[in-house]
Amino acid sequence: MSTSARRVAAELDASDPLAPYRDRFLPADDVVAYLDGNSLGRTPRATAERLASFVTDEWARRLIRGWDEGWLDLPVDVGDELGAAVLGAAAGQTLVADSTTVNLFKVLHAACGLRPGRDEIVASAADFPTDRYVVEQVAAQRSMTVRWLQPDLVENVTPDVLGEVLGERTAVVSLSHVDYRSSALLDLPALTEQIHDSGALAVWDLCHSAGVVPTNLDEAGVDLAVGCTYKFLNAGPGAPAFLYVAREHLATADQPIMGWFSAADLFEMADAYRAATDVRRMLSGTPNVLGIVAVQCGVQLVAEAGIDAVRAKSTRLTSYLIDLLDEAGATVLSPRAADRRGSHVSIQVPDAAEAGRRLVEAGVIPDVRRPDLLRLGLSPLSTSFAEVLDGFDVLRSVVLPS
């Protein structure tokens, strides 16, 4: 790599206000460039310390008393922190619990139940597999029909595409904020408004935007949302997901996995189920306390850095990488306009599995989508411009045609 390219990367790092955050993550010594923060974020030092102290101090010493000393409230308390720092959600509407898949199942059922008499769910045929499977199941269970959008991967779901199927029969529209393949960022406020104009409810999956693109859920009037925490929120493999229910729906949203944690009084052990009247009604069983503690650490890092600063660095990182890829003649799939993409850049290669193997051998970890996509995820708190350049350097020599 030329010294002038090195100098540019060094200058970008020197003027990056978030550069010090890189040190807040544990190193991975054999990794030259970690370009998969969109699948599993790196490990915050604070999380390693907090989990260790949780085990030895809280679990070991407080034992069952811990539930009354704060653990019971963690899904809501950390939900509120996440809502404030990441989602633009006022307190009392967000929970940290279960997985995205389970939460999507719950919120889709709840949303359909809020629109009785309408019998169609609109979703995208390009969406992440688990989202499509859940949409299909919920529709079948409620004797509803799915209207599948067939958007272009890069343009993705636009008002025109949505307008073709939206109508009086639409109960719910379920969309992902950022396309997991192309990184296309959907216009969440405009689409939400369009969905409401048709009388339907908007359900958003924020897996690829939570922690890296501001979502302003309250302001946009989003009805329900879900998302995961192990990607740009750095909460660790399998960490609990989140769900959001707008205040206006809190008293009436009915979800299908009712358990003692969603009941009005957890310890009443009542004969008959009565749902809680607050956001707890979306819980099911005992929360994963260790996982939620890790989510809290990840959220606090984003809160400290500020979501707008994180987004600003994200667009600088992806623009920088796209410029390098363009110069090298790579086939970039992701949108060119920075305000239309999330925090990963996808390129097309002839054999993604083989390219992935070669990159990993050389210490560069991408995300492979067979047959022909490499996704390069840039996590603003842990990725430097020099690391992007190192990764690109290897990519160019082992993957791109010379």
Ligand X SMILES: *Cc1c(COP(=O)(O)O)cnc(C)c1O
* Minimum distance, C-beta of residue 294 to ligand X, in the bound complex (Å): 14
Q: Coil, strand, or helix at residue 104?
A: helix
Angle between helices 385-398 and 3-14 (to 10 degrees): 150
Instruction: Give the residue, chosen from 188, 228, 364, 365, that forms a contact with ligand X under the rule CB under 6 A.
Output: 228
Q: Is 34 in the site for ligand X (CB under 6 A)?
A: no
- Structure token pair of residue 154: 């890069």
Contact of 263 with 282, CB cutoff 8 Å: no
**Cα within 13 Å of Cα(337), Cβ side:** 7
DSSP sequence for 161-198: HHHTT-STTEEEEEEESB-TTT-BBP-HHHHHHHHHHT
Active site residue 230: yes
Please tell me what DSSP assigns to residue 341. Answer: B
Give the number of other CB atoms < 10 A from CB of residue 220: 20
**Whole-number Å distance between alpha carbons of 26 and 381:** 12
Contact of 43 with 381, CB cutoff 8 Å: no
* Minimum distance, C-beta of residue 131 to ligand X, in the bound complex (Å): 5
Active site residue 375: yes
Q: Which is nearer to ligand X, 211 or 324 (CB)?
A: 211
Q: Point out the catalytic residue in the list 21, 25, 180, 230.
A: 230
DSSP sequence for 204-222: EE-TTTTTTS---HHHHT-
Binding mask 172-211 for ligand X (x = CB under 6 A): ----x---x------------------------x-xx---
Q: Is 36 in the site for ligand X (CB under 6 A)?
A: no
Q: Is 100 in the site for ligand X (CB under 6 A)?
A: yes
Q: Which is nearer to ligand X, 118 or 208 (CB)?
A: 208
Which residues pair with residue 367 across a beta bridge? 375
CA dihedral (88, 199, 165, 103) positive or negative:
positive
Burial class, 101, CB count within 10 angstroms (exposed 0-12 / middle 13-18 / buried 19+): middle
- Structure token pair of residue 382: 């842990």
Q: Which is nearer to ligand X, 376 or 399 (CB)?
A: 376
Of residues 238-267, which lie at the interface with ligand X (CB under 6 A)?
Answer: 241
Q: Which is nearer to ligand X, 123 or 166 (CB)?
A: 123
Q: Is 216 in the site for ligand X (CB under 6 A)?
A: no
Q: Point out the catalytic residue in the list 205, 223, 367, 393.
A: 205
Active site residue 313: no
* Minimum distance, C-beta of residue 78 to ligand X, in the bound complex (Å): 17
Interface with ligand X: number of residues (CB under 6 A): 13
* Minimum distance, C-beta of residue 347 to ligand X, in the bound complex (Å): 19
* Minimum distance, C-beta of residue 93 to ligand X, in the bound complex (Å): 20
Q: Point out the catalytic residue in the list 128, 180, 244, 392.
A: 128
**Cα within 13 Å of Cα(2), Cβ side:** 4
* Minimum distance, C-beta of residue 231 to ligand X, in the bound complex (Å): 6
* Minimum distance, C-beta of residue 181 to ligand X, in the bound complex (Å): 10
- Structure token pair of residue 267: 């310890």
Q: What is the largest CA-CA distance in the chain?
A: 73
Of residues 285-324, which lie at the interface with ligand X (CB under 6 A)?
Answer: none
Q: Point out the catalytic residue in the list 118, 375, 393, 396.
A: 375
Q: Which residue has the tokens 């949409």?
A: 135
Instruction: Give the residue, chosen from 19, 99, 198, 340, that forms a contact with ligand X under the rule CB under 6 A.
Output: 99
**Whole-number Å distance between alpha carbons of 254 and 275:** 8
Instruction: Give the residue, chosen from 16, 58, 131, 390, that forms a contact with ligand X under the rule CB under 6 A.
Output: 131
Q: Is 126 in the site for ligand X (CB under 6 A)?
A: no
Q: Is 105 in the site for ligand X (CB under 6 A)?
A: no
Residues within the interface to ligand X (CB under 6 A): 99-101, 128, 130-131, 176, 180, 205, 207-208, 228, 241
- Catalytic amino acids? 128, 205, 230-231, 375
